[in-house]
Amino acid sequence: MSSLRQRMIEDLRIRNYSQNTINVYTRCVASYASHFGKSPDLLGPKHIRDYQLFLVKSKRASWALFNQTVCALRFFYQVTLGRRESVEHIAYPRREKRLPVVLSVGELRAFFQAVENLKHRTILMTMYAAGLRVSEATGLCVADIDSESMLVRIRQAKGNRDRYVPLSSAPLTAFREYWSVYKPKSWLFPGRPSHQPLSTRVVQMACSRARRKARLSKPVTTHTMRHCFATHLLEAGTDLPTIQLLLGHRSLSSTATYLHVSTRALQPTQSLLEAVHTPES
């Protein structure tokens, strides 16, 4: 590991960035340096602009990757190198506005039935039942499950914030079946070796296999479980502030996105049309 990379990691840790963010930022800066074949401290504003054009035109990078790269480079130049003048030339992209993909209850049931591995099925069901991100699910410890209070503790989630989510009887039953087979000691979903948590990549691959086996036409990712959780709660009558709290969103506007995909939220429009429509005699 180069001294420059080590210094950036230390700068991120001092500011209490999560390990996932540290990995993403260092990977983005490494890709940037590799593109030019030079150490990143030898590159300047022109290189930054050329690399952004490369991401957009040649690589056709997603908004998420482009934005992660921008954030990583801004941190690297401003904090690690102390070159604030370079940061002024790093433009932020306009955010894409895409509605989340949500599965119906029947599609979700078929999806879970298609997951053959008990551990993979349990973690995906947990993500749906509690509205968890994949990193939050793999980071669960045995001590985070409070079966008496029926709560799951999410430790240091996005934004370094803890939160609690309720645990219904259905996932608790799945936990007990899973527990009788795997008997986890520290991590709720241990990986290989067992003293490490299950890799998020393993869960993502299990999700892809289940989608193909269930023959679902919709694109399904691990984050779809979280989208389904929020949308199904909304359709069951849960108010937006409560869903916001359970998801750990900072802004209610983020949670309000699910109004656009909830069939319950769209029903009033249909009923209004029916009220003014009078069939000809």
**Residues involved in catalysis:** 133, 158, 223, 226, 249, 258
The answer to whether the CB of 12 falls within 8 A of the CB of 25 is: yes
The answer to whether the CB of 167 falls within 8 A of the CB of 144 is: no
Which residues does residue 190 pair with via DSSP β-bridges, in sequence order? 197
Sheet holding 151-157, edge to edge: 145-146, 151-157, 161-166
Q: Which helix (H) or strand (E) holds 264?
A: helix 263-276
Phi, psi of 152 (to 5 degrees): -120, 130
The answer to whether the CB of 63 falls within 8 A of the CB of 95 is: yes
Q: Which two tokens stand for residue 172?
A: 């608790």
The answer to whether the CB of 154 falls within 8 A of the CB of 165 is: yes
